[in-house]
A and B are shown apart, each in its own frame.
Chain A
Amino acid sequence: MIFSSLIFLYLFLPLCLITYGLVKPLKGKNAVLIVFSLLFYAWGEPVRILFLLLSAVINYFVGLGIGAAKSEKLQKLILGGGLVYNIGMIAVFKYSGFLVENVNAIFGSKFPVPEIAIMAGISFYTFQIISYIVDCYWGKVEPQKNFWDLLLFICLFPQLIAGPIVRYSTIAEEIGCRKTTMKDLSKGLTRLVVGLAKKVILADQLYRIVEDTIGSKSGVGPMTVMGTWYGIILYSLYIYFDFSGYSDMAIGMGRIFGFHFNENFNHPYLCKDIQEFWQRWHISLGSFFRDYLMPISFFGHRNKYFSLFLVWLCTGVWHGASWNYVIWGLYYGAFIMFETVLGKKRINKIPIAIRHIYSKLIIIIGFGIFFFEDFEQLGLFFRNITPLNPNGFSSEFELISLCNNLWLIIAAIICTFPLIELFRKISERSLNAKTAVSVSGTAICAVLLVVSSILLVDATTNAFLYWNY
Chain B
Amino acid sequence: MSEKRLNKPSDEEREKRLERQKKRVLAQARRREHSLYALNISVIVGVLAFITLFMTFGERPKISTEENRDLAECPTFSFESYFKGEFTKDFAAFYNDTVPLRSTFKSMISSFRANLGVKYGDGIHLSGGLPTIETRPENSGSSSTRKPPPVVVIPNQSGSTGSSSSSNGNSSSSSSTSTSSSTESTSTDTTSSSSTKPIDIDPNGGMEVGSIIVLPDGRALPLFGGSYSGGQFYAETLNAYKQALGENVNVYSLVSPTAVSFYLPEKFADRSASEWDHIDYINSFFEGVIPIDAYSVFEQHVAEDIFMRTDHHWSSLGAYYAAQEFAKTAQVDFAELNDENYEKVSREGYLGTLFGQSGEPQVMIDNPETFTYYIPQNEFTTDYYSFGMEYQYTGRLMLDIDLLERSDWYSVNMCGDLYTVNINTDCKNGRRLMIVKDSYGDALPAFLTSSFEEIWVVDMRAFEGGIVQLAQNEGITDVLFAMNPTSATGENADHLPGKMW
Interface residues, chain A, CB within 8 Å of chain B? Answer: 1, 5-7, 9-11, 13-14, 42-47, 182-183, 185-186, 189-190, 193, 205, 208-209, 211-212, 216-218, 397, 399-409, 431, 434-435, 438-439, 441-443, 445-446, 449-451, 453-459
Smallest Cβ-Cβ distance to B38: which chain A residue: A182
Give the segment of B48-56, B238-246, B313-321, B339-347 that binds chain A.
B48-56
Contacts of B89 in A (CB 8 A): 44
- The residues in B between 69 and 88 inclusive whose CB is less than 8 angstroms from any CB of A are 82-83, 85, 88
Contact of A7 with B125 in the complex, beta carbons under 8 Å: no
Chain A's interface: helix, strand, loop or mixed, by majority? helix
Contact of B116 with A453 in the complex, beta carbons under 8 Å: no
Contact of A205 among B39, B102, B116 (CB under 8 A): B116
In the complex, whether B28 has a CB less than 8 A from a CB of chain A is yes
What CA separation (Å) do A455 and B107 show in the bound complex? 11
- Further contacts, 5 of them, CB under 8 A, given A431-B32, A457-B106: A10-B55, A11-B56, A182-B37, A208-B129, A404-B118
Contact of B117 with A454 in the complex, beta carbons under 8 Å: no
Contact of B36 among A193, A409, A438 (CB under 8 A): A438
Contact of B37 with A185 in the complex, beta carbons under 8 Å: yes
Contact of B85 with A445 in the complex, beta carbons under 8 Å: no
Contacts of A409 in B (CB 8 A): 117
B143 CB, min distance to chain A CBs, angstroms: 30
A-B contact pairs, 15 of them (CB 8 A): A14-B48, A44-B92, A45-B85, A47-B83, A186-B40, A189-B40, A208-B128, A216-B132, A400-B120, A403-B118, A442-B39, A442-B43, A449-B48, A453-B51, A455-B112
Contact of A435 among B32, B51, B99, B102 (CB under 8 A): B32
In the complex, whether B130 has a CB less than 8 A from a CB of chain A is yes
Contact of B85 among A44, A183, A456, A458 (CB under 8 A): A44
Contacts of A399 in B (CB 8 A): 120
B84 CB, min distance to chain A CBs, angstroms: 8
Contacts of A441 in B (CB 8 A): 40
Smallest Cβ-Cβ distance to A456: which chain B residue: B96
What CA separation (Å) do A439 and B52 show in the bound complex? 24
Chain B's interface: helix, strand, loop or mixed, by majority? helix
Smallest Cβ-Cβ distance to B84: which chain A residue: A46
Contact of B127 with A459 in the complex, beta carbons under 8 Å: no
Contact of A46 among B34, B40, B82, B125 (CB under 8 A): B82
Query: Given A439-B39, A441-B40 in contact, is the A403-B47 Cβ separation under 8 Å?
Result: no
Contact of B132 with A193 in the complex, beta carbons under 8 Å: no
B133 CB, min distance to chain A CBs, angstroms: 10
Contacts of A42 in B (CB 8 A): 88
What CA separation (Å) do A341 and B146 show in the bound complex? 72
Contact of A6 with B96 in the complex, beta carbons under 8 Å: yes
Nearest 6 interchain pairs by C-beta: A406-B117, A186-B37, A208-B128, A403-B120, A438-B36, A408-B116
Contact of B120 with A405 in the complex, beta carbons under 8 Å: no
Contact of B36 with A405 in the complex, beta carbons under 8 Å: no
Contacts of A182 in B (CB 8 A): 34, 37-38, 41
Contacts of B44 in A (CB 8 A): 189-190, 193, 442, 445-446, 449
